[in-house]
Structure 1
Amino acid sequence: MIEIPSDLHKDVVSLAFLLGTWEGAGVYAPLPGQDSPGTEKCNFGQEIVFRHDGRPFIEYRSRSWVLDSSGERIRPLENEHGFWRVTTNQHGASGEREVEVSMVRDDGTVEIWYGRLADGKPQIDLATDAVARVEGSAPYSGGKRLYGFVKEELLWVGEKAAPEVPLRPYMSAQLKKVLSPAQLIKDINDLPDDGIAFFR
């Protein structure tokens, strides 16, 4: 079930399904020639936070870690921070709404992404429009991402390209929403007064 906070800005209501803290795991496979010791194909854990403060954007933060075979964190993998907006499409049909994302990554990459919401379902397709890199970051020329809310989970897959490497999948994850303390308190308040009746 998708809840829409009463103080969410009307411009980003269509992104309400993203809101919250999400945790889970996925698979990482670096582009050929871009793996280094410790960053070969691996499983990773991830925490994504989408939050809002009433303004017409949603803040996005992602942290991920390399996991060992038992699911324990070994080392950080990559971090991202960005802002998601819903705007009027200047490139396509008149009045069409699109998703616009500005993002910075811990490897010194800055990206501008554009995409659109799928008709009738909580799914977003994004593609890079601009990429800037600091000297020393891995070669990277663009990417695509797909985010979807499926059976109460947030699923996503990312594709990446480099000057010598065509677009290919490199990261995907399956995440579950973490309940906030406020939601836990609300659930407790819904229990019968004596608490015991819950078990009868």
Structure 2
Amino acid sequence: MEGGSVGSAPAPPPLHPAIAPLSYLLGRWRGQGEGGFPTINSFAYGEELIFSHSGKPVIAYSQKTWKLASGEPMHAESGYWRPKPDGSIEVVIAQSTGLAEVQKGTYDAENRIVTLQSELVGNASKVKEITRVFKVVNGELSYVVQMATVITSLQPHLKALLKKV
């Protein structure tokens, strides 16, 4: 068999120049987070994020969470991140709840920060706005998600700290 033994993974595609500034995100991240909101009880969760690419100018994103005590699945979402050479970024995310987000924002490759603001939150009866800020500091990925609903202004909702595995 040409190109390696049976069962070996194909070589990863070359990195597209458009996603090179965010290549530090690529891979699998795992850790824990905590959530809350004025209208719900606070909760803790385990999480895995995966950022991958196919050689195209886009990063595939997938996320899943679970209850820490039982391992029972909680939330999942997936989507695509499209960084632009001018430092802007477009992100689309579909959540397991049926909610869809179209977000725009900026990235700072030097400081490893991505800031996103919802342009559209679709199929959501109560959620009106979502912001997300991702940072990598000392090799750890952290994020903060804020949310606004029909009865609340923008409030902290989720935060997590993940390590690359």
Tell me the TM-score normalized by structure 2.
0.87
Instruction: Say if 1:115 and 1:126, in contact at 8 Å, map to a contact too.
Output: yes
CA distance in 1, matches of 2:55, 2:110: 25
In 2, Cα distance between equivalents of 1:62 and 1:119: 22
Identity of aligned residues (%): 30
**Whose Rg is larger?**
1
| Matched residue, 1:55 | 56
Deviation at 1:32, TM superposition (A): 3.2
- Report if the CA contact (8 A) 1:86-1:98 is conserved: yes
Kindly state the Cα deviation for residue 129 of structure 1 after the two structures are TM-superposed: 0.7
Pair 1:44-2:45 in alignment: yes
Shift of 1:170: 0.6
Alignment equivalent of 1:19, drawn from 16, 26, 49: 26
Greater share of strand? 2
Equivalent residues of 1:42, 1:67 under 8 A apart: no
Q: Can you give the 5+ residue segments of structure 1 that lack an aligned partner in the other structure?
A: 89-95, 179-200
CA–CA separation in structure 2 for the residues paired with 1:7 and 1:119: 19
Partner of 2:111: 121
Kindly indicate whether residue 127 of structure 2 is the aligned counterpart of residue 144 of structure 1. Answer: no
Letter in 2 for 1:158: V
Task: Confirm whether residue 32 of structure 1 aligns to residue 38 of structure 2.
Answer: yes
Q: Distance in 1 between matches of 2:64 and 2:104?
A: 22
Runs of 4+ in 1 over 2 A off after TM superposition: none
Deviation at 1:138, TM superposition (A): 5.4
Question: 2-side partners of 1:119 and 1:146: how far apart?
Answer: 13
Letter in 1 for 2:132: R
AA aligned opposite 2:151? E
Question: How far apart are 1:102 and its partner, in Å?
Answer: 0.6
Distance in 1 separating the partners of 2:66 and 2:38: 20
Structure 2: give runs of 5+ residues left out of the alignment. 1-11
Determine the C-alpha separation between the residues in 1 that align with 2:134 and 2:87: 17
Per-residue Cα deviation, 1:58-106 (whole angstroms, up to 9, x for no partner): 00000001223xxx42x32211100001126xxxxxxx33011011001
Per the alignment, in what secondary structure is the counterpart of residue 84 of structure 2? strand
Verify the 8 A CA contact 2:105 2:116 in the aligned structure 1. Answer: yes
Whether contact under 8 Å (1:57, 1:83) holds in the other structure is yes
Q: Contact 1:147–1:155 at 8 Å: present in 2 too? A: yes
Higher helix share: 1
Partner residue, 2:143:
156
* Residue 15 (structure 1) shift: 1.1
Aligned length: 154
Q: State the TM-score, normalizing by the size of structure 1.
A: 0.72
